[in-house]
Structure 1
Amino acid sequence: MAPSPGSSWLLQPTLFWCLAPIPSRSLLLPACSLPTADLREELLMAQPPVVLARCPSALGPLDSAQIEQLIHKSQEAKEFAYCPYSNFPVGAALLTLDGKIFSGCNVENASYPVGNCAERTAIQKAVSEGYKEFRAIAVTSNVKDDFIAPCGACRQVMREFGKHWYVYLTKADGTYQVKMVDELLPESFGPDDLLKN
Structure 2
Amino acid sequence: MAEELDVEALFRAAASIQRQAYAPYSRFRVGAALLAEDGVVHAGCNVENAAYPVGSCAEAGAIAAMAGSGARKIMAVLVYGEGEELVTPCGACRQRIREFAAPETPVLIAGPGGVRARFTLAELLPASFGPANLPR
The answer to whether TM tops 0.5 is yes
Q: Give 1:161 deviation, angstroms.
A: 1.2
More deviation in 130-139 or 158-167?
158-167
Q: Give 1:171 deviation, angstroms.
A: 2.6
2:54 is aligned to 114
Indicate yes or no: 2:30 matched with 1:123.
Answer: no
Q: Which has the higher contact order (CA 8 A, sep 6+)?
A: 2
- Choose from 85, 96, 109 the match for 1:146: 85
Q: Give 1:63 deviation, angstroms.
A: 5.2
CA distance in 1, matches of 2:44, 2:9: 15
CA distance in 1, matches of 2:119, 2:129: 18
> RMSD of the alignment, in Å?
1.6
1:161 is aligned to 100
Equivalent residues of 1:137, 1:168 under 8 A apart? yes
Q: How many residues align?
A: 135
Equivalent residues of 2:80, 2:110 under 8 A apart? yes
Equivalent residues of 1:120, 1:157 under 8 A apart? yes
Equivalent residues of 2:109, 2:116 under 8 A apart? yes
Q: Give 1:137 deviation, angstroms.
A: 1.0
Q: Percent identity?
A: 41
Q: Give 1:62 deviation, angstroms.
A: 4.8
Equivalent residues of 1:74, 1:103 under 8 A apart? yes
Q: Which runs of 4+ in 1 moved over 3 A?
A: none
Q: CA, structure 1 residues 95+62, in 2 after alignment: closer, same or farther (shift >3 Å)?
A: farther
Q: Give 1:172 deviation, angstroms.
A: 2.6
Equivalent residues of 1:146, 1:171 under 8 A apart? no
CA distance in 1, matches of 2:87, 2:39: 24
CA distance in 2, matches of 1:175, 1:93: 13
More strand by share: 2
Structure whose CA Rg is larger: 1
Equivalent residues of 2:46, 2:57 under 8 A apart? yes
Secondary structure of the corresponding residue to residue 87 of structure 2: coil
CA distance in 2, matches of 1:115, 1:123: 15
Q: Which runs of 5+ in 1 are unaligned?
A: 1-59
CA distance in 1, matches of 2:36, 2:135: 26
2:114 is aligned to 174
